[in-house]
A = this chain, B = another copy of it.
Amino acid sequence: MQGLIQHYPLTTNAILEFGNRVFHHKRIISHLPGGERHEYTFGDMYLRTKQLANALHDRLGIERGDMVGTFAWNHGPHVELYYGISGIGAVCHTINIRLSAPQIEYIINHSEDKVVFVDATLVPLLERIAPQLETVRHYVLLHAPADFQTTLPNTLHYEDLLAEQPDEYEWPDIDENEACGMCYTSGTTGLPKGVLYSHRSTYLHAMTILSPNAANIDANDVTLLVVPQFHVMAWGYPYLCLLAGSDMVMPSSNLQPAALIKIIQQEGVTTANGVPTIWLGVYQELKKNPPAEPLTLREYVVGGSALPKSLIRGFEDDFGIRGVHAWGMTETSPLGTISRLQRKHERLSQEEQLTIRAKQGIAFPGVELRVVGEDGTAVPRDGKEMGELQVRGAWTISSYFKTLNKESFTADGWFRTGDVSTIDADGYMEIKDRTKDLIKSGGEWISSVALESALMAHPRVREAAVVAIPDDKWIERPLASVVLLDATEPVTEKELADFLSTDFVSYQIPRDYVFLQEVPKTSVGKFDKKEIRRQYAEGTLG
């Protein structure tokens, strides 16, 4: 028997219309690449989204299901693009500006983008590859001065495009399972792969992530969106801020620690997100130049890489700001888990609590996790036994765009993350490693992530990445690449090994250390272990 409830598709239009109807007075504040500050309301943005919809349809010839690319930082117009493109039933393809030129060329051709919206400051990156782009009919320039010079063909100025359009537009009926957005994986292990989000998955992800057990965002918040809009739909924050009625602060390229701190102070930011590297930088800057008044920032949600215990502790003890560890992947929209303490943890010591908070945490409603051992069955939920993390749920992919990639899915339809993890009796999941980064030394597994996290707790270490290197006796052994906080205060290999010996047994502790100026990173800011291993093999590391 069917329930007698109204048909109400979960679409980005439902989010946009809600944001305008109920929270039209909430603000979107952009700190633009040139340093200029721009502020307007959800209501203003809404009208421009309708102008954009008219322009896409009437001026640019975009049809239902067409791909439209964006190549831009976080700012108001990029929010308009999220809603305007998906609003007419096209797909907003956010292109990662940090990919290599050949990768960008590949994904624009592969996705068949008809139009690309590009920030003026990023135009040089596209000019190099434009001759090879086969499907792009127009480039629309964002924040470009009127006399802007470019070799890109068929350019239009975004503001001109909007100015000539009416701000009335009736959204088409959209099936909630239609695609609304696309993002390619960063492709560290091969060609980038496209992930095609649906309206429904986007709505459900955003509605879940704003909940108190997750990012906990409401109409009293001022949210700083540090995660770039070109990276997994900015973790859904451009959607959830409209659902929650939170002011949005968009930093564009102002991502240097001092710039972010200034924005937090100026706008009264209460909550934010980002990868650990960003927040490590902010913490170190705050230590160097302590603020005159406590920051309004209540907490920051971290994902993308493991949040080290030492950073959680430092931020909280020194500045009263809570770090909240989350986990996800491009293939999971991205957020799948978060680590917050529960009532039963109150009786634990601070150190024990930190150990839980440094885990990736518990799954959200709509996300299912299982950890599968080498024998193909689920490992015990004891927090010790490791296995491959597999996921299914309401915002997990069923396949990649234009490719089956069967090896990424199990026979019963779960997505294989390629992460090695444990899960404990209370459902707290902990990533121990990427499958390919796990070190097997003398038949025993060593977690590179655990070693990195411990090394980064050393007071004179800024960053540390651990990889497996070949060993005649043990097959593999760990190598630590270490960046010091201050090159004038060196640390010996023995000091680091001794420091690790409180938490690790001797066979797990690296004997080899390389001191670097910087750890090589991927386009999304993660440690590039493939590159470290390559440099080690070539003898050029350090």
Contact = CB atoms under 8 A, between A and B. Distances in A.
B212 A216 contact: yes
Given A210-B212, A365-B207, A6 B394 contact: yes
Interface in A1-44: 1-8, 10, 14-15, 17-18, 21-23, 25
Nearest to A211: B211
When all copies of this chain in the complex are counted, the total is 2
Nearest to A213: B218
Nearest to A413: B6
Interface in A61-117: 65, 91
Interface in A353-388: 362-363, 365-366, 368
Contact of A178 (B1, B17, B201, B363): B1
A178 B3 CA distance: 5
Contacts of A217: 212
A245 B200 contact: no
A231 interface: no
Contact of A398 (B5, B91, B400): B5
Interface residues of A, number: 68
Interface stretch (A144-152, A336-344, A475-483): A336-344
A265 interface: no
A21 to B, nearest CB: 6
Contacts of A200: 3, 5
Contacts of A393: 6, 8
A363 B20 CA distance: 12
A177 interface: yes
Interface centre among A200, A210, A211, A426 (most CB of B within 10 A): A211
B3 A365 contact: no
Interface in A387-413: 392-401, 413
Contacts of A427: 21-23
A9 to B, nearest CB: 9
Given A196-B1, A218-B211, A366 B244 contact: no
Contact of A365 (B14, B340, B343, B395): B14
A218 B2 CA distance: 31
A124 B147 CA distance: 86
A342 B247 CA distance: 11
Interface in A402-454: 413, 415, 426-427
Contacts of A343: 219-220
A54 to B, nearest CB: 21
A165 interface: no
Contacts of A245: 213, 342
Interface in A184-213: 195-201, 204, 207-208, 210-213
A179 interface: yes
A195 to B, nearest CB: 7
A5 B186 CA distance: 19
A509 interface: no
A7 B365 contact: no
B201 A5 contact: yes
A4 B398 contact: yes
A15 B365 contact: yes
Nearest to A340: B219
18 contacts: A3-B179, A3-B197, A4-B401, A5-B177, A5-B196, A5-B394, A5-B397, A10-B204, A14-B365, A17-B368, A23-B427, A207-B211, A211-B212, A211-B218, A212-B212, A212-B217, A212-B244, A213-B244
4 closest Cβ pairs, A-B complex = A3-B198, A212-B218, A8-B394, A1-B65
